[in-house]
């Protein structure tokens, strides 16, 4: 089977500190992949290598390859801007822009010049908001500030913003970690819904969440990939003793 993302022998360094060791992993198209593991195990760092978000850190260094649709994104001459349009990202803390709700979603469409005219832009914003299950809650106040939304709504706004530029892959870095159970449930339903059109990689601290939403799970520890298997198998009959210990909470 052709993988959407294929990672081979990836090492990652912050200065002289190695954060990821020899990670190899295949991510199939239109599936939800969950990354789990204790804090500081490198799962967020790994997620951020998939759209080269770590480029913003001056001392970061990457070895190995990440191949998306047959092209190594770390090859010289890679257009990082185009890559990030294709591989969208939702962050742990919702980070709406200091603009109106409409303009938040429209921003990515505008800068990438995706829309043909004003009506098309409005249509795309509405579609993105509907995809993020937020349209009904905000349709009457599109021009008010995004900061007036609740935490859960802000996070869904950020998802809508990411979807609006029509990415193929959506990276989510603990998107529900700061949300209450009801808002979390909405995000989870959304993730399952989005799987039809997108490949989704989601980092989570919440094991039940990984079990609920993902098709495959990767377990990281101390910068190493311990196990990568279908979620069903991972949570019932993992290959590694370490995985079982972590999932069942017997750790130490």
* 160 near other proteins (CB under 8 A): no
CA-to-CA distance for 166 and 76, rounded, in angstroms? 25
Residues 20, 129, 162, 202: which binds other proteins (CB under 8 A)? 162
* 53 near other proteins (CB under 8 A): yes
CB-based burial label for 81 (10 Å; 0-12, 13-18, 19+):
exposed
* 124 near other proteins (CB under 8 A): no
CA-to-CA distance for 46 and 206, rounded, in angstroms? 18
Rounded least distance, CB 121 to other proteins, Å: 15
Residues 61, 71, 93, 233: which binds other proteins (CB under 8 A)? 93
Rounded least distance, CB 183 to other proteins, Å: 19
Span between the terminal Cα atoms of the chain, in Å: 38
Cα distances (angstroms) measured from residue 56 to each of 53, 86, 127, 151: 6, 18, 31, 26
Residues 56, 116, 117, 237: which binds other proteins (CB under 8 A)? 56
Residues 146, 172, 194, 221: which binds other proteins (CB under 8 A)? 146
Q: Could you identify the residue written with the tokens 């742990």?
A: 92
Interacting residues toward other proteins by CB under 8 A? 51, 53, 56, 58, 81-86, 88-89, 91, 93, 95-100, 107-108, 111-112, 145-147, 158, 161-162, 165
């Amino acid at each position: 089977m052709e993988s959407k993302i294929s990672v081979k022998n990836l090492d990652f360094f912050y200065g002289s500190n190695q954060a990821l060791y020899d990670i190899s992993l295949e991510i199939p198209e239109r599936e939800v992949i969950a990354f789990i593991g204790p804090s500081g195990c490198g799962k967020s760092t790994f997620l951020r290598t998939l759209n080269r978000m770590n480029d913003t850190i001056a001392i970061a260094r990457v070895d190995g390859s990440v191949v998306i649709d047959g092209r190594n994104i770390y090859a010289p001459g890679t257009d990082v801007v185009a890559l990030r349009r294709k591989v969208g990202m939702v962050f742990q803390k919702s980070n709406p822009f200091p603009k109106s709700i409409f303009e938040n979603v429209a921003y990515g469409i505008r800068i990438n010049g995706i829309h043909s005219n004003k009506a098309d832009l409005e249509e795309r914003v509405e579609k993105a908001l509907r995809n993020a299950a937020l349209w009904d809650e905000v349709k009457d106040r599109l021009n008010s500030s995004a900061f007036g939304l609740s935490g859960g709504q802000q996070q869904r706004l950020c998802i809508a913003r990411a979807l609006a530029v029509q990415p193929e892959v959506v990276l989510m870095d603990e998107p529900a970690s700061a949300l209450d159970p009801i808002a979390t449930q909405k995000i989870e339903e959304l993730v399952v819904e989005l799987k039809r059109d997108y490949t989704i990689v989601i980092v989570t601290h919440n094991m039940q969440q990984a079990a609920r939403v993902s098709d495959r799970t990767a377990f990281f520890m101390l910068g190493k990939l311990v196990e990568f298997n279908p979620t069903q198998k991972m949570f019932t009959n993992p290959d590694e003793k370490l995985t079982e210990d972590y999932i069942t909470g017997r750790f130490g």
